[in-house]
Amino acid sequence: MTKIILCGCQGHMGKTITELAKEKDGLEIVAGVDLKNDLTASYPIYSEIADVREQADVIIDFSHPSLLESILSYATEQSIPAIIATTGNGEAEIEKIHAAAEKIPMFFTYNMSLGINLLTGLAAKAKEVLGDGFDIEIIEKHHNKKIDAPSGTALMLADAVNDGSFEYVYDRHSKREARGKKEIGISSVRGGSIVGEHSVIFAGTDEVVELKHTAYSKKVFAAGALSAAAWLINRPAGLYDMKDMM
C-alpha cells in the first residue's frame, strides 16, 4: 500500500486526486495539508506539513509555491520522496527542488498529463525537422481562476523547441516592428472553465504545422500524479520527470 501526504488537498486538483485515489488499488491518502480544513474528509488535514504525524511513502504537492520550502524541509528531514506539481515556481524555487533532489527522490514537472509530455516530444521533433524556416508561436488557454501566466506548460513547450538562441516574447502591442526570426511568441488566454489547452504553431512560407493538446478534465493530471507516486518510491535520490516515467 502506497501511503500519500497530499498538499493542497482542498483545492480543485487536491479534491480530484482524493476522489481518484479511492478508485485505485494500492494507494491511500493518509493525511492532507491545507489552510481549509474539511472535517468530513476521509483523512486528517493539517494547516502545516510540519504537524503531520502519519507515516507516508510519498508527498504529492498541488498547493502554492509559497509552501515549497516547508514541504521540501519536511520531505528531506523525513526522507520521503516528493512530487512537485504546483505551477508558478520561479528560478529560486526550482533551485531548491534541485538541491532537495541530491538527498531524496524528487519528481518535478510543469504538467502531469501523459499527452502533454508526448506533445513536448513531438514539438521538439518538429523543430528539428522544420529548422529555422518556420516561426514558432505558443498559445495556452486556461480557466479564469488561474493566476500565473504564461502557464508552466507553455514554458516547458518553449524550452523544448529552444536551442538556446531564441527570445521569449509575451507582449507585442508595446512595440510596432516586424517579428524577429529568433523569437518564440507565447500568448495566454484566461476564461470560463477551460481546463487546459496548449498549441504549438510552426508558421512557414505557405504552410502551417500546428500541434495541440486539450485537457477536458483535471482527472488527466490527477491520474499522472498518482502514477508518479507509485513509480517514485524506492527510486534513488535524484530529479525525475514524466520522461523518466514514460
Q: pLDDT, tens digit, for every residue of 66-108?
A: 999 999 999 999 999 999 998 778 889 999 999 999 999 999 9
d(C-alpha 138, C-alpha 56), whole Å: 39
Sign of CA dihedral 47, 152, 110, 101: negative
- Helix or strand or coil: residue 77? helix
Averaged pLDDT for residues 33-56: 91
Catalytic residue among 127, 142, 198, 218: 142
Angle, helix 68-78 to helix 91-100, in steps of 10 degrees? 0
- Helix or strand or coil: residue 213? strand
- All domains of the chain in start order, with CATH: 2-112+219-245 (3.40.50.720), 114-215 (3.30.360.10)
Strands across the sheet with 105-108, in order? Answer: 45-46, 27-33, 2-7, 58-61, 82-84, 105-108, 238-240
pLDDT score at 39:
73
Q: Percentage of the chain with pLDDT > 70?
A: 100
Q: Are 188 and 151 in contact (CB under 8 A)?
A: yes
pLDDT of 38 higher than 80: no
pLDDT score at 233:
92
Q: How confident is the model at residue 213 (pLDDT cuts 50, 70, 90)?
A: very high
pLDDT score at 175:
82
Catalytic: 142? yes
d(C-alpha 46, C-alpha 79), whole Å: 20
pLDDT of 53 higher than 80: yes
DSSP string over 64-128: -GGGHHHHHHHHHHHT--EEE--S---HHHHHHHHHHTTTSEEEE-S---HHHHHHHHHHHHHHH
Q: How many residues are there in the chain?
A: 246
Catalytic residue among 64, 96, 103, 146: 146
